[in-house]
C-alpha cells in the first residue's frame, strides 16, 4: 500500500535521525570536552554509528518502500518524500566500508590537526590529510556517478542541495574582478575618517561568557534547549532540542568572541526554529549551508556590526566590564567604527566583510583543484600562501596562519567553503527585504529588541525547513530573484561611504 509504505519510511527516517542526534553530541564532545586519550575509542564509536546510519539508509527495503510510497500532491509529505529519495541516492552511492574508512580518517585527522595547527607543522598532518582527501575523492566519484554530477558538484550537493559550480563560478568571477577595487575604495574612505580609539583593557573570560549568554538570549536563543562552550574553532552543533554553540576567548579582545557568539547564534536560532511537526524527517532539516550561513551572517555582519546594534550593545559592554559611561572609546560610534574596520589579515574567521570573500576565493580555488586532481596536496601551503598574496597582498608567515587555520579539510568538509560567501550574499538580500517589509526593525534593534526581526525570519526561512529549494525560499521571502545586488550595495554603502 502506497500510504503504508510512506508511513514506514517516516518511522525509519526518524530512527536514523535519532542516531544522527547521538552522533551530533559525540562530535560536539570530541571537540569540546573529550580527553585526548579517548580519541581512538571515540573515532571507532563515531565510525560504528555512521555505518549504522548508512546501512539503515541504503538497506534494500528502503529502496522498495521509496518505489511504492505515494503521498498527496502539494503536501509537506510530498516534499519529505522527495528529500528521502535524495538522501537515499547519496547513501546508496557509497559502500559501507568507504563510509567507515572516511569516518575514521576524519576523526584521526581532526585530532592531529589541533597539534599541527598549534605547531604550524603541515608536514606532520600531510599523511593523515592525504587519507582524508583520498577518501573524499572516492566518495565524490561514487556520488557523482550516481547523481550524474562532477565529483566536486557531488560534494557541494551534500552541503547545499542543488547548488553547482555553474552557480558559483559566475558569482566568484564577479567578486574576483571587483574585489581589489572595492578593498582599495574601502581603505581610501577609511583613511579619510578618524581612526577608532583603541578599546584597551583586560576582559575576564567569565564576564565575556556572561555577556555572550545575554546577547544570545536577546537574539532569540533558547538556553533551555542549548548551551555555550569553548573550542579551538567556533561552531554550532549538537542535536534536536540540544543546540550547542562554541566560541574562543582572548582576554585583551572582547569583540572577537562576542561576534563569534553572534555568528553561531544565527545558526542556532535557525536550528531551534525548524518546524517541530516535521521533526526527525528530511523535510524538517535546514535547507542547506548557504541558507544556514545566511542566518549566521545576517546576525553577525548585517545586524551586530550595524550602528543600531551598537546603540544597545555599547551600554551593555560598559556595564559588563565596569567601564565609565563617558569613556569615548566605549561609545556606540567608536565601537561601530571598530567592528567595521577594514584591515586585510591572515585569519578567515577574523576577517572584515570587505576582505572576507578573498579568503573564500582562495580556498575554493584550492579545494576544487585538489578534488579534480589538478594539484598535489603537498603543494597546498605554497599555493595557499600565493593565493593570499595575490588577493590581499599579504605574505603568510607560517602554516598556522595559512592553510592549517581551518578545521574544514581535516574534518572532511570539502565543498563547504563557498557556502560562506553565497550565504553572505543571501544575508544582504534578506536584511534588505526584512527592513523594507517592517521599517521599525532597525529602531527595535537599537533597543535590543530582536523579536520583530525574528518574527520576519521564522515563517519565511526557519519554518520552511527543506520544503522548498534555497532559490525558492529566497524568492518567496524577498519577492525577488536571488542576486548579488543587495550585497554589493551593502558593501559600498557601509564601507565606501556611498550610502
Residue 264 is among the residues annotated as catalytic for this protein: yes
In angstroms, the CA 310 to CA 448 distance is 9
From the list 482, 490, 486, the residue with the least C-alpha distance to 163 is 482
From the list 354, 323, 437, 416, the residue with the least C-alpha distance to 106 is 416
| Contact (CB, 8 A) for 464 and 287 | yes
Q: What is the DSSP letter of 196?
A: P
Q: What is the DSSP letter of 192?
A: T
Residue by residue, DSSP assigns 18-85 as: HHHHHHHHHHHHHHHT--GGGHHHHHHHHHHHHHHHHHHHH-HHHHHHHHH----TTSHHHHHHHHHH
Within a 10 A sphere around the Cβ of 279, how many other Cβ atoms?
A: 14
Burial bucket for residue 193 (CB in 10 Å: 0-12, 13-18, 19+): exposed
Among the listed residues 83, 110, 240, 264, the single catalytic one is: 264
| CB neighbour list of residue 173: distance below 8 Å, 6 or more residues apart | none
From the list 435, 210, 447, 212, the residue with the least C-alpha distance to 332 is 447
Known binder of ligand: residue 408? no
From the list 493, 481, 486, 386, the residue with the least C-alpha distance to 436 is 486
Buried b (16+ CB within 10 A) or exposed e, 12-39: bbeebbeebbebbebbbbbbbebeeeeb
In angstroms, the CA 15 to CA 316 distance is 44
DSSP alpha helix (H) spans, 148-253: 151-159, 165-191, 205-219
Known binder of ligand: residue 189? no
Known binder of ligand: residue 174? no
From the annotation, which residues make up the binding site? 263, 267, 293
Q: What are the catalytic residues? A: 264
From the annotation, which residues make up the binding site for Zn(2+)? 263, 267, 293
Amino acid at each position: 500500500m502506497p500510504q503504508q509504505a510512506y508511513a514506514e519510511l517516516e518511522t525509519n527516517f526518524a530512527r536514523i535521525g535519532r542516531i544522527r542526534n547521538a552522533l551530533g553530541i559525540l562530535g560536539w564532545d570530541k571537540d569540546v570536552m573529550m580527553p585526548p586519550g579517548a580519541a581512538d575509542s571515540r573515532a571507532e564509536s563515531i565510525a560504528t554509528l555512521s555505518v549504522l546510519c548508512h546501512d539503515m539508509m541504503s538497506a534494500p527495503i528502503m529502496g522498495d518502500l521509496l518505489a511504492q510510497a505515494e503521498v498527496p500532491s502539494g503536501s509537506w509529505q510530498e516534499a519529505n518524500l522527495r528529500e528521502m529519495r535524495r538522501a537515499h541516492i547519496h547513501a546508496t552511492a557509497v559502500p559501507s566500508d568507504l563510509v567507515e574508512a572516511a569516518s575514521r580518517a576524519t576523526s584521526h585527522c581532526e585530532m592531529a590537526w589541533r597539534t599541527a595547527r598549534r605547531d604550524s607543522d603541515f608536514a606532520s598532518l600531510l599523511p593523515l590529510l592525504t587519507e582524508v582527501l583520498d577518501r573524499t575523492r572516492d566518495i565524490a566519484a561514487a556520488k557523482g556517478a550516481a547523481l550524474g554530477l562532477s565529483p566536486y558538484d557531488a560534494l557541494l550537493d551534500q552541503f547545499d542541495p542543488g547548488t553547482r559550480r555553474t552557480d558559483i563560478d559566475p558569482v566568484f568571477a564577479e567578486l574576483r574582478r571587483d574585489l581589489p577595487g572595492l578593498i582599495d575604495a574601502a581603505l581610501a574612505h577609511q583613511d579619510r575618517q578618524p581612526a577608532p580609539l583603541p578599546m584597551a583593557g583586560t576582559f575576564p573570560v567569565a564576564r565575556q561568557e556572561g555577556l555572550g549568554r545575554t546577547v544570545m538570549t536577546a537574539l532569540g536563543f533558547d538556553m533551555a534547549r542549548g548551551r555555550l562552550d569553548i573550542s579551538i574553532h567556533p561552531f554550532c552543533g549538537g542535536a534536536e532540542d540540544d543546540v550547542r554553540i562554541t566560541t574562543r576567548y582572548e582576554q585583551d579582545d572582547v569583540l572577537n568572541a562576542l561576534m563569534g557568539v553572534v555568528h553561531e547564534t544565527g545558526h542556532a536560532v535557525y536550528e531551534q526554529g525548524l518546524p517541530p511537526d516535521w521533526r526527525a524527517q528530511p523535510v524538517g532539516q535546514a535547507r542547506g549551508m548557504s541558507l544556514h550561513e545566511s542566518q549566521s551572517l545576517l546576525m553577525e555582519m548585517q545586524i551586530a556590526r550595524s550602528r543600531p546594534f551598537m546603540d544597545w550593545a555599547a551600554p551593555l559592554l560598559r556595564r559588563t566590564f565596569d567601564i565609565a559611561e563617558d569613556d569615548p572609546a566605549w561609545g556606540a560610534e567608536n565601537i561601530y567604527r571598530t567592528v567595521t574596520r577594514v584591515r586585510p589579515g591572515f585569519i578567515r574567521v577574523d576577517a572584515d566583510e570587505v576582505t572576507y570573500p578573498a579568503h573564500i576565493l582562495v580556498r575554493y580555488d584550492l579545494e576544487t583543484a585538489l578534488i579534480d586532481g589538478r594539484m598535489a596536496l603537498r603543494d597546498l601551503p605554497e599555493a595557499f600562501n600565493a593565493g593570499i598574496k595575490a588577493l590581499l597582498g599579504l605574505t603568510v608567515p607560517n602554516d598556522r596562519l595559512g592553510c592549517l587555520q581551518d578545521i574544514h579539510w581535516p574534518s572532511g568538509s570539502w565543498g563547504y567553503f563557498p557556502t560562506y560567501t553565497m550565504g553572505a550574499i543571501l544575508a544582504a538580500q534578506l536584511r534588505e527585504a526584512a527592513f523594507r517589509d517592517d521599517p521599525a526593525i532597525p529602531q527595535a534593534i537599537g533597543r535590543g529588541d530582536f523579536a520583530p526581526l525574528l518574527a520576519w525570519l521564522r515563517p519565511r526561512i526557519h519554518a520552511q525547513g527543506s520544503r522548498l529549494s534555497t532559490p525558492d525560499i529566497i524568492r518567496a521571502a524577498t519577492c525577488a530573484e536571488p542576486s548579488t545586488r543587495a550585497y554589493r550595495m551593502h558593501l559600498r554603502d557601509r564601507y565606501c561611504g556611498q550610502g
